[in-house]
């Protein structure tokens, strides 16, 4: 039985880190601003660095002022918010610190949520120490931030270690893409409209493209990123979650089990990529020097300061082997140092079976549904229309977009950080937008297969100039099928 009562203590591990400053503390402030945090909620930050309650509160106030729009910074709310905060210095591997942490919790009988964003090597000692200090048990929820392993075996080791102390229904694995509004809107688009679902299959859809393009480079994260690469950093989690939401069967209810059951079925239907498929289905790249947004940027290897074969770009042609999607390619592409920041899903429908306009010289173009997730949240349906005129020289047709700009349609609502939703769901105990163990493992299983295939095929990343859409082979990967990426 899932416990849905709100917790009264939230413990943030890694509370002085970058994620906390940019996302977690501003998100918690945003929730407080809207009166959504439980009145009695206390937030305890922990990290290795030395701080007092007071200096941690100052740090949090600065993070909020820097990362929350000035129009939302309200002095009275900020004072109330920082009063919830306290700090316990703690070395994750040292049991003594956990006793101090336990003693700092005002009410141990009430619910506790723990947010862990630490290096994977610290997961096991942290969990063991929490358990030994009595900070596990039925009233404690555990949220885990990536990276949760580097392959299926290491992810199982982490999941086993966590699972020993926290049953699955108390474990909240974060994929912050699931906290993004437009990602959730995919569910509304597919399942709250009658228009799309009858066409949402191989009979009417020609192909699906998912792009996550970023302009940033290493961002000082070389220790982590060089050991991960684009496939494990972005495809294994965010992109496969997007694919699962596009590909899954309709869940019977808006409920954690129903939705996650359908996602995992879709993930398990991904056809393994073999060494023989690599030449036509996988392209990897690594950025060289170039310019992004008019500014010169260095090559990956120069940022890193050593040789490396890590890919900063990957393009894949995936197939979902089930009745609904037989024969429909899913083209996935992600990279750093791309010309623009853009996350989008493009569904390209098949052309009309017979065009009565062809004899009049007019060409039809297949309809497309473009779901933009970043930087703008838009949904656009491209339809064919007749161009105005008397048509003496023949009929002319052109695609025109039916656009929904979500920022305009819902102009009076504040656009939230993805973590606001996820932190509130964690505090309130709703696991729907968190990733279940079987999903993560299905994701790793497929990704491990891709990596094994490219090792066997001797695939090496091709260089691409920063500010380009990856190596030209990525364009060829789609063009071979007569498909163009939506740039
Ligand atoms: C993270 C990756 O999970 O997602 C980063 O580790 C990436 O490399 C980030 O930059 C992208 O998130 P968003 O929300 O900016 O698209």
Mutational test site, ligand 1, from 175, 237, 238, 421, max ligand atoms within 8 Å of CB? 238
Checking phi first, is residue 470 left (phi over 0); if not, alpha (psi -120 to 50) or beta? left
Task: List, for the chain, all residue ranges whose pLDDT scores fall below the cut of 50.
Answer: none
Q: Does the annotation count 238 as an active-site position?
A: yes
Distance from the CA of 382 to the center of ligand 1, in angstroms?
29
Q: What does the pLDDT read at residue 336?
A: 98
The residue ranges of DSSP E strands in 130-219, in sequence order, are 140-144, 171-173, 205-213
Q: Are 229 and 311 in contact (CB under 8 A)?
A: yes
Q: Is the CB of 233 under 6 A from ligand 1?
A: yes
Which ranges in the chain are annotated with CATH 3.30.360.10? 178-416+437-479
**Domain 178-416+437-479, second-level architecture:** 2-Layer Sandwich (3.30)
pLDDT at 360: 87
Task: Say which residues have a Cβ less than 8 Å from residue 144's Cβ, sequence separation at least 6.
Answer: 116, 123, 158, 162, 171, 172, 173, 174
Query: CA quadruple 392, 397, 398, 403: dihedral positive or negative?
Result: positive
In testing the pocket of ligand 1, which one of 233, 292, 377 has its CB within 8 Å of the most ligand atoms? 233
Q: Which helix (H) or strand (E) holds 25?
A: helix 25-33
- Among candidates 309, 308, 330, which has minimal Cα distance to 320? 330
Point out the ligand 1 atom lying closest to the alpha carbon of residue 212: 16
Q: What is the pTM of this model?
A: 0.96
How far apart are alpha carbons 154 and 244 in whole angstroms? Answer: 23
Nearest atom (ligand 1) to Cα of 216 = 10
Q: Give the phi and the psi of residue 229 in degrees, each rounded to 5.
A: 85, 165
pLDDT reported for residue 407: 83
Domain with residues 9-173, CATH architecture: 3-Layer(aba) Sandwich (3.40)
ω into 99 cis (within 30 of 0):
no
Q: What is the best residue among 17, 210, 214 to mutate for testing ligand 1's pocket, by most ligand atoms within 8 Å of CB?
A: 214
- Which residue has its alpha carbon closest to ligand 1 atom 5? 233
pLDDT at 305: 96
The pLDDT tens digits of the residues spanning 323-335 come to 999 999 999 999 9
Name the segment(s) of the chain with CATH classification 3.40.50.720: 9-173
Q: How far is the CA of 373 from the centre of ligand 1 (A)?
A: 13
**Strand-strand pairing, 9-13 and 313-319:** unpaired
């Amino acid at each position: 039985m899932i416990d849905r009562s709100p917790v009264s203590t939230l413990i943030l591990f890694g509370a002085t880190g970058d994620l906390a400053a940019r996302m977690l503390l501003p998100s918690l402030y945003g929730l407080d601003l809207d009166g959504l945090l439980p009145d009695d909620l206390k937030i305890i930050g922990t990290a290795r660095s030395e701080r007092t309650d007071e200096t941690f509160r100052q740090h949090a106030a600065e993070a909020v002022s820097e990362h929350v729009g000035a129009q939302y910074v309200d002095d009275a709310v900020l004072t109330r918010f920082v009063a919830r905060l306290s700090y316990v210095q703690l070395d994750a591997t040292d049991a003594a610190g956990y006793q101090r942490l336990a003693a700092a919790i005002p009410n141990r009988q009430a619910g506790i949520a723990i947010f862990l964003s630490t290096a994977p090597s610290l997961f096991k000692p942290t969990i063991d120490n929490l358990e030994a200090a009595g900070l596990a048990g039925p009233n404690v929820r555990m949220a885990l931030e990536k990276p949760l392993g580097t392959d299926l075996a290491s992810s199982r080791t982490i999941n086993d270690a966590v699972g020993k102390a926290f049953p699955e229904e108390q474990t909240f694995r974060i994929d912050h893409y699931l906290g993004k509004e437009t990602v959730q809107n995919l569910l509304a688009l597919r399942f709250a409209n009658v228009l799309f679902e009858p066409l949402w299959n191989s009979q009417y859809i020609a192909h699906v493209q998912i792009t996550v393009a970023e302009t940033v480079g290493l961002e000082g994260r070389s220790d982590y990123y060089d050991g991960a690469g684009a496939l494990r950093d972005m495809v294994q989690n965010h992109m496969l979650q997007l694919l699962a939401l596009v590909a899954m069967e309709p869940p019977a209810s808006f409920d954690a089990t129903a939705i996650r059951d359908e996602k995992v079925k879709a993930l398990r239907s991904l056809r393994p990529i073999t060494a023989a498929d690599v030449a036509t289905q996988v392209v990897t790249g690594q950025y060289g020097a170039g310019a992004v947004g008019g500014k010169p940027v260095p090559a990956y290897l120069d940022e890193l300061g050593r040789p490396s074969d890590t890919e900063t770009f990957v393009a894949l042609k995936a197939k979902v082997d089930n009745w609904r999607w037989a024969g429909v390619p899913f083209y996935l592409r992600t990279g750093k140092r791309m010309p623009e920041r853009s996350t989008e899903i493009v569904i390209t429908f098949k052309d009309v079976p017979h065009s009565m306009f062809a004899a009049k010289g007019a060409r039809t173009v297949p309809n497309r549904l473009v779901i933009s997730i970043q930087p703008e949240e838009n949904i656009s349906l491209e339809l064919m229309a007749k161009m105005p005129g008397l048509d003496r020289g023949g009929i002319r047709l052109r695609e025109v977009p039916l656009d929904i700009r979500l920022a305009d349609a819902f102009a009076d609502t504040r656009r939230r950080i993805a973590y606001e939703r996820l932190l509130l769901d964690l505090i309130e105990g709703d696991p729907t937008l968190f990733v279940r163990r079987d999903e993560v493992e299905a994701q790793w299983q497929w990704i491990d297969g891709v990596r094994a295939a490219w090792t066997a095929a001797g695939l090496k990343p091709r260089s691409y100039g920063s500010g380009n859409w990856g190596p030209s082979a990525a364009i060829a990967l789609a063009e071979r099928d007569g498909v163009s990426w939506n740039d």
